[in-house]
Amino acid sequence: MRNIIMLAFKNLTRHKKRTIITSIAISFGIMLLIWMHGMLKWADNESQRNLKKYEFGNFTVTTKQYKEDRESYPVDAVMDNSLIRKVYKIAEESGSYVSPRTGFKSMMSYKRGFGLPYIVFAIDPEKDAEVFSIKEKIIEGKYPDQNSQGILISAYCKKELGAGLGDYLVMETRTKYDTFQALRVKVIGIYDCPDPVVNRNHLFITRNMAERDLQLEGTAAEVVFRTKSGKNESTLGKVKELLVSAGLSHLTTETWQELGSDYMTLSKTKKGGSNIMIFFIFIIVAVGIINTMLMAVFERIREIGMLRALGMRDKDIIYSFIAEAAGIGILGSMIGLILGIGVSAYSVYYGLDFTSAYKDMDYGYRTGTVFYNEWNPEMMLTAVIFGILCSVLVSIIPARKAVKMEITDAIRYI
């Protein structure tokens, strides 16, 4: 066996050009697999984090009527102030942060005769900052306080309406009693968050302002919970029990997975598509390895014939090719692993900016246009093993075919 390994090593160093070319082909494929899988993993995990941080929290408590008609944002199926306080108490007992919110459809305009549709949320600024992360994403102006009388808009809204900090927008909507209302509201802050759905659709005013101008009278459509652990299970179960024991069984809960079911369904589809894409990358890498290894074996058929003529056993010849292929696989996979770690490290810490490519395009993920990466040691190990096994397995068939030729035919092979 030692002699076989030595022969394989000499072949690797003797055919340097072929060894280098094959190793480069393997390393590039391994690097691509590691980087692509890490980026897709980050995009999916970041989307789920953003669903909780900017859209839904961990779960919400609402009336059953509001849950059934959520998409129309009804302001008549809401919780009154006494119910909200009871839910606050339950949140305190369960160790959660909560924020009351009421969303309503509106048309926003600035120096134009027609408005553009947005969802405006009436929030308690202090409580909302404990549940959501909008406050951390202010890029101009300030985050509203309890007595603010203006509106917080997104960077996307600023661009779409052409309005800036200090400008007055016209907000057309309906009150709780279904009467038409048009308000002139001042832009007091502009935010830019990584969730494109929030950026494109959501604006914010204070509950105090909504109570005064939209007749909300201390009501809220939902109370959003954020758990300290960041997970739903144990806290959600406790909240459900407390709702029943407090006689609030007419209220119901919805988790972020249920509220974001459109994305969760899309995520499953994308995972399938991503897996297919990664599978094709595997195929491309495998074809490159197969092509190079076949050439390596067939161009040395005369050499194989000479070795057999000198008395080397067929199985030893096959083992030498397997050892040589394993050496190339290990070399290429290790280089690919190092390159993959390097490319992933850059993406993890600095990200890749796709703003010019995506701009305002909806690409499905709830992420910004700067894509990052996540470390994926399982995929790294899988890619390395794949590179080595693929090299080894591919070398067996042509080597077996070569040793089955007549020695005289092998020696005369061109």
For residue 185, give its domain range. Answer: 59-229
Are 46 and 106 part of one and the same domain? no
Are 71 and 25 part of one and the same domain? no
Of 180, 208, 229, the one marking the end of a domain is 229
| The predicted structure's pLDDT at residue 106 | 94
Query: How many independent structural domains does the chain possess?
Result: 2
| The predicted structure's pLDDT at residue 134 | 96
Q: Is the pLDDT of residue 342 over 90?
A: yes
Over range 316-327, report the average pLDDT. 80
Are 180 and 67 part of one and the same domain? yes
Are 153 and 181 part of one and the same domain? yes
| Paired tokens of 386 | 């794949």
User: By the 8 A CB rule, do 152 and 143 touch?
Assistant: yes
pLDDT digits (tens, 9 = 90+) for 95-144: 999 999 999 999 999 987 788 999 999 999 999 999 999 999 999 999 99
In a domain, 234, yes or no: no
Q: Is the pLDDT of residue 356 over 80?
A: no
| Paired tokens of 11 | 């072949």
Are 47 and 65 part of one and the same domain? no
In a domain, 248, yes or no: no
Are 197 and 106 part of one and the same domain? yes
In a domain, 191, yes or no: yes
Share of the chain above pLDDT 90, in %: 44
Are 167 and 202 part of one and the same domain? yes
Q: Predicted confidence band at 32 (pLDDT cuts at 50, 70, 90)?
A: confident
Q: Predicted confidence band at 13 (pLDDT cuts at 50, 70, 90)?
A: low
Are 297 and 183 part of one and the same domain? no
In a domain, 239, yes or no: no
Are 181 and 268 part of one and the same domain? no
Decide: pTM greater than 0.85: no
Are 198 and 294 part of one and the same domain? no
pLDDT digits (tens, 9 = 90+) for 192-201: 999 999 999 9
Q: Is the pLDDT of residue 358 over 90?
A: no
Share of the chain above pLDDT 70, in %: 88
Nearest to 161 by CA among 114, 194, 128, 198: 114
Are 134 and 220 part of one and the same domain? yes
| The predicted structure's pLDDT at residue 123 | 96
SS (H, E, C) the chain: CHHHHHHHHHHHHHCHHHHHHHHHHHHHHHHHHHHHHHHHHHHHHHHHHHHHHHHHCCEEEEEHHHHHCHHHCCCCCCECHHHHHHHHHHHHHHCEEEEEEEEEEEEEECCCCCCEEEEEEEECHHHHHHHCCHHHHEEEECCCCCCCCCEEEEHHHHHHHCCCCCCEEEEEEECCCCCEEEEEEEEEEEECCCCHHHHHHEEEEEHHHHHHHCCCCCCECEEEEEECCCCCHHHHHHHHHHHHHCCCCCEEEEEHHHHCHHHHHHHHHHHHHHHHHHHHHHHHHHHHHHHHHHHHHHCCHHHHHHHHHCCCCHHHHHHHHHHHHHHHHHHHHHHHHHHHHHHHHHHHHCCEECHHHHCCCCCCCCCCCEECCCCCHHHHHHHHHHHHHHHHHHHHHHHHHHHCCCHHHHHCCC
Are 115 and 77 part of one and the same domain? yes
Q: Which residue has the tokens 């050892």?
A: 323
Of 206, 229, 252, the one marking the end of a domain is 229
